[in-house]
Copies of this chain bind each other. A is one copy, B any other.
Amino acid sequence: MHIGLIGLGKMGNNMRARLERNGIQVTGYDTNPDISDVASLADLVAALPAPRTVWAMVPAGDITDSVVNELAGLLEAGDLLIDGGNSKFTEDFKHAELLAKTGVDFMDAGVSGGVWGLDNGYGLMVGGSAEQVERVMPVFDALRPEGPRDEGFVHVGEVGAGHYAKMVHNGIEYALMQAYAEGYELLDTRKDIIKDVTGTFKAWQRGTVVRSWLLDLLVRALEQDPEFEHIEGYVQDSGEGRWTVEEGLNNAVPLPTISASIFARFVSRQEDSPAMKAVAALRNQFGGHAVKAVD
């Protein structure tokens, strides 16, 4: 099988390697000419055998949107485009509709695994028709982890369902990370009692209820920098966490831990908190409590 792959960044490049390692021929396109196999999207389309299969692995939002729009003018009836980036599921509905006008098929694929996917395989959640899934299965099988297919791949539903599942996956991921982080902070704060914080996390890797891949990574990080001396408590967030909470709001689903973990990230990026300034000002007003004045 021979596919086109758009986006040869950190994720795309690793995926290309895994695909090729598993017998899929890949022609890659990237805006960076140094790493691109072809000069343009038009050249990419020209280089692929019809009916074409193209996998887009570019940042969600404007960039994905512009790639899809350009491809809508290049691909032909019977071709198939897969958006493997982190697009919002509502974008998939729009993109599928656009491409359907010229008979081009569209699928969405949520891809998990980060930089470890090259060796471990990528967890895949895909949306589309049964026929589309069957057609792309060799690609999915090349990307997903070893072992039973249904433990690393799922056909979630129609177009949009793959990204929906990935969105929720990431929402859960945020809260899992926050849970371990809270426990870490408490243990770290009571080093008068806990003489071996890293060792405690390390010992949770086998037998305990909290063992997980994230725990393994936390142990790895602690072994590299046991006091996190070389890292700031400043945490970005991508869209999926926010969209998960937005979906919770739209569907009256309570998401207290997922929202708490996103809010914690927001706070982590603030130099000072306007809200806490207001609280400090209020305390000062009613109680005459001293405030910390800005110098």
Interface residues of chain A, those whose CB is within 8 Å of chain B, are 10, 89, 112-117, 120-125, 144-147, 150-158, 160-161, 164-165, 168-173, 175-190, 193-196, 199-200, 202-215, 217-218, 220-222, 225, 228-236, 242, 244-269, 272-289, 291-294
Contact = CB atoms under 8 A, between A and B. Distances in A.
B169 A210 contact: yes
- Chain A interface, DSSP helix/strand/loop, else mixed: helix
B207 A120 contact: yes
B144 A293 contact: no
Contacts of A282: 177, 180-181, 214, 217-218, 221
Closest 4 CB pairs of A and B: A212-B212, A233-B276, A123-B208, A154-B203
Given A121-B206, A156-B195, A209-B114, A248 B186 contact: yes
B278 A179 contact: no
Given A150-B202, A185-B273, A274-B233, A256 B178 contact: yes
A187 B176 CA distance: 17
A208 B178 contact: no
A232 B292 contact: yes
A280 B98 CA distance: 38
Nearest to A211: B213
